[in-house]
Amino acid sequence: MNKKIKYTGLELKEKLVGVTRVCKVTKGRRYFSFSAIVIKGNENGIVGYGFGKSKEAPDAIHKAGEQAKRNICKVCISNGTIPHEQESKYGGARVLIRPASDGTGIIAGGPLRAVLEAVGLRNVLSKSKGSSNHHNVIKATMKALSSMRDASIIAKQRGITIQKVYDGC
């Protein structure tokens, strides 16, 4: 599993997935606040996500962006797609991500699409199953992407050459 990396002045693009107004009802009155979900990525294999809450929407978005910088991780990309099929689950949300051939584009919807675009993938097939909760779908997607391994990582872990990985020896 890939470790989180520190934010080191990378040029990250921010994508707002959603802002929700939430309400706390007490005996005296209702208290309104906002919750925001933000994805940050450099479209070259680095992506992070953040959740922010505040009484004002811009403050919630800013907090989510700052948290996204702290949750950055590196993703393996090979020829604009992922190295292998991956399925992941977080809470009730299940995510299936598959590599695709050139010209396919990103076949995904909602928060799953936002994460895949921020990573920089150009050709990928995906399916979101189970819960459609944005928080859990994003976390399941990040879990799937962070557990991707390409041939060089596998060779390094096994202590063999990349050619032996492809030969199956």
| DSSP-assigned letter for residue 75 | -
Please list the pLDDT of the chain residue by residue as tens digits (169 residues).
445 555 566 788 999 999 999 999 999 999 999 999 999 999 888 999 999 999 999 999 999 999 999 989 888 888 888 888 999 999 999 999 999 999 999 999 889 999 999 999 999 999 999 999 999 999 999 999 988 877 777 778 888 877 777 776 5
Instruction: Quickly tell me which residue has 């693009």 as its tokens.
Output: 13
Global pTM? 0.85
Instruction: Quickly tell me which residue has 């976390």 as its tokens.
Output: 139
pLDDT at 49: 95
The rounded distance, in Å, linking the Cα atoms of 46 and 55 is: 30
Tokens linked to 160: 């063999």
Other CB atoms within a 10 A radius of the CB of residue 72 amount to 21
Return the beta strands (E) in the chain as ranges.
13-25, 30-41, 46-54, 73-74, 86-90, 93-99, 106-107, 124-130
Phi (first) and psi of residue 133, to 5 degrees? -60, 120
The rounded distance, in Å, linking the Cα atoms of 95 and 109 is: 11
Instruction: Quickly tell me which residue has 């799953």 as its tokens.
Output: 112
Which residues touch 159 (CB under 8 Å, ≥6 apart)? none
Of 106, 104, 88, nearest in space to 96 by CA: 88
